Amino acid sequence: MEMKKSRIILILLLTFNIYSYAQQKPFMDYVLSWDGHSSKLEVELTYSAAQKDSTVFIFGDPNFGGQTDIFKVVKNIRSNAPEEVKIDEANRRITIYHKGAKKHRLTYEIDGSLPVDKPTTASQTELFRPVITKGILTLVNQLFALDIIDGSNPLVSFSWRSYPENFSYFNSVQPSQTDPSEKISDYYNELSELVYFVMGDNIEVKEYSVMGIAHYCVTTKEDKYGNDLQENLSPFFESYFPSIHRFWNDNDFPFYFLVITALQNNQKELGGGGFGIKNGFVMKLGRKFGTREKYVTAHETAHSWTGVKIMLGEDSFDHQWFGEGFNDYTTIINLAKSKIYNEEEFLHYLNEETLKPHYTSKIKAVHNDSIAANYWTDYTNYGVLPYRRGLIYAFYLDNQIRLASNGKFTLRNMLLDLYALRKAKKNDDILSVDDFINAGATYLDKKELAEQIEHHMIEGQPIDFNKVKLIAEFNIDINNNIPKVNLTEGADLSKIYQW
């Protein structure tokens, strides 16, 4: 009896195995190796093949920082016999012919060397390239992982086989995982928003809790500009992030991170460059962390809401007055509230960086539609226009709402209503200018609001501050048609901006 029972169990198990093999979920497992001093990352990829005959991968993306020399970065692409690899460099296609193989494994190398004879001349050069050099590695998955074209959504994993034991490690998929040998994984479609890896002997990872959510601060410990970046950034984690979370009443994300590392290969002072990633922001810095860098860090991290979670129109270019300008306003009022900006810095940004250049700009009155058309070719004029135009309107609107409600409501209340409208919509439904007007109609006359947007934001006519009343805490001087905001005596920014 015993024998028979175990045989039945055995048969059941075998059947189950066959069944699960046929139902195998698509996967891509990357195993990475780096020795800590060379410029070579070794990649081993095992994957499931949806097609019997061949699998096609695409490497790199020229839109990501203009990578033109992709096949100088990826090298020695090899498969195991009997599989054969064919590379089409022009189209960045790597085709593997399976030839009956049941298991699929591809190996290749990523060359992250920084040319010593060609020092970095723009922070973007290092930002959008793999940096794999003595003591430091910074890498976006797009720079070493492969794209698939078959529409399957494999479970993608990353783990490290060999790496320097004493180096600090950070990954943006699951930052709490600090052991590089442990697998981190997520579905392919989720990873399309980029993954960031940092490893180094001069890297510090500090964890904060902001409203109960883990926040990570990843920086180089020392650089040649004398920065103490952990020190520079601690006010963001201690004040700015708590302030902006409370502003939006939002803690609906699993974690947040900032990675700010010094450029490795520059010889003169360069500014910073950065990009947002899901749940975080990455910056490369080539000088002292100063007022400009504070602003950039605050502005970019504020985009988690305005411009990303809450975007007007089909495309981020449609209504940049909102995506950039209103984001800039929430940035500076949160910088003031968190005391990273003092009164002087706040007024400087409002007056000298915004009102003055806007009201003296030759193109201040161009139509909203002309911005996207000229954005990249004439950034100096058109690129900055929506930031300024939108910030000025946001300031004006905040004052109007405060006056109309006797100080009971502010622009924040309207923005929270707009955010609620966004959350109530389906993901692929857009938030429109009409939604913006409807959100504002709770606080202001709807017809007037619609006219203001059409006149000032779309047609582009500057607001005439001669005819504008502000709250008692602000007054305005107008000299040579340039408005300048002042705080009235006894007015206190931390009382004006509180939530």
Site string for Zn ion, 292-331 (x = CB under 5 A): --------------------------------x-------
Which positions ≥6 away from 296 have C-beta within 8 Å? 272, 274, 283
- Nearer to Zn ion by Cβ, of 169 and 341: the residue is 341
Selection from 263, 288, 290 nearest residue 274 by Cα: 263
Residue whose tokens read 């990357």: 30
Least distance between Zn ion and beta carbon 327 (Å): 6
Selection from 77, 115, 303, 280 nearest residue 198 by Cα: 280
- Nearer to Zn ion by Cβ, of 317 and 409: the residue is 317
Least distance between Zn ion and beta carbon 236 (Å): 17
Least distance between Zn ion and beta carbon 455 (Å): 24
CA 128 to chain centre: 13
3-state secondary structure of 156: strand
Structure tokens of 378? Answer: 């004439």
Q: How many CA atoms within 13 Å lie on the side-chain side of 180?
A: 20
- Nearer to Zn ion by Cβ, of 29 and 324: the residue is 324
Least distance between Zn ion and beta carbon 302 (Å): 8
- Nearer to Zn ion by Cβ, of 298 and 340: the residue is 298
The number of residues that bind Zn ion (CB under 5 A) is 1
Least distance between Zn ion and beta carbon 331 (Å): 9
DSSP codes of every residue in 25-58: PPEEEEEEE--SSSSEEEEEEEE--SSSSEEEEE
- Nearer to Zn ion by Cβ, of 185 and 330: the residue is 330
Contact 172, 277 (CB under 8 A): yes
Least distance between Zn ion and beta carbon 115 (Å): 31
Task: Name which of residues 2 to 21 contact Zn ion (CB under 5 A).
Answer: none
Distance, in Å, from the CA atom of 103 to the CA atom of 108, rounded to the nearest integer, reads: 17
- Nearer to Zn ion by Cβ, of 223 and 324: the residue is 324
Selection from 171, 365, 380, 168 nearest residue 282 by Cα: 171
Least distance between Zn ion and beta carbon 322 (Å): 11
Selection from 130, 138, 123 nearest residue 285 by Cα: 123
Site string for Zn ion, 324-363 (x = CB under 5 A): x---------------------------------------
- Nearer to Zn ion by Cβ, of 193 and 448: the residue is 193
Q: Which residue is nearest to Zn ion (CB)?
A: 324
Judged by the rule CB under 5 A, the positions of this chain that interact with Zn ion are 324
